[in-house]
Amino acid sequence: MNVDKKTIVQVVLFGLVGLGSLLIDLLVTTLLYRKVGFPASIAGVCGFLSAFFFNFPINRKHVFHHTDADRFSLKAQVLMFITLSLVNLVITGLAMHLLVEVMSVNVTLAKALTTGTIAVWNFVIMKMVIFSKNKSTN
């Protein structure tokens, strides 16, 4: 398998953006829940959305290098990104149930495995589909 330097840099940046998104999600969720008094579900949704609004533009511009050669419009990219996020949510719930409840895997290990798998899946989908370039400019 031959991986070019550009892809390695993208993977590292993607991981850093993901870590930043996680920290934003946790910070917003925790602050809204503990300091403001929001219900956990509302605080969690606000945290998720805050991370989303950080993650999407940073990945689009700095990780996958948005240009006029992008295969899809901004609107299509946003819709695909939202769809991917919703699919990830369903897969996470199903995987956690299967690993923890059915296979008796430790919850922390199950979450780490699920998150790692989804991170790889997300990188591939974003690079090959959502933020892909027109064929003539590759």
What is the domain range of residue 108?
A: 69-138
Q: Identify whether residues 123 and 93 lie together within a single domain.
A: yes
Task: Looking at the structure, tell me whether residues 42 and 24 fall in a common domain.
Answer: yes
Same domain, 10 and 46: yes
Last residue of a domain, one of 45, 63, 81: 63
Q: Are residues 93 and 44 in the same domain?
A: no
For residue 1, the model assigns a pLDDT of 60
Q: How far is CA 12 from each of CA 16, 63, 91, 129, rounded to the nearest angstrom?
A: 6, 9, 24, 19
pLDDT of residue 3: 77
Cα 10 to Cα 123: distance, rounded to the nearest angstrom: 9
| CA 111 – CA 128 distance, rounded (Å) | 25
49-107 tens-digit pLDDT: 999 999 999 999 999 999 999 999 999 999 999 999 999 989 998 999 999 999 999 99
Query: How many residues does the structure list for the chain?
Result: 138
Residue 69's φ and ψ, nearest 5 degrees, are -85, 5
Domain tally for the chain? 2
Residues 30 and 86 in one domain: no
The model carries a pTM of 0.85
Write down which residue in 11, 29, 63 finishes a domain.
63
- Tell me, what DSSP letter sits at residue 137? G
Percentages helix, strand, coil for the chain (3-state, rounded to 5) are 80, 0, 15
Provide the terminal-to-terminal Cα distance of the chain, rounded to the nearest Å: 19
8-state DSSP, 132: P
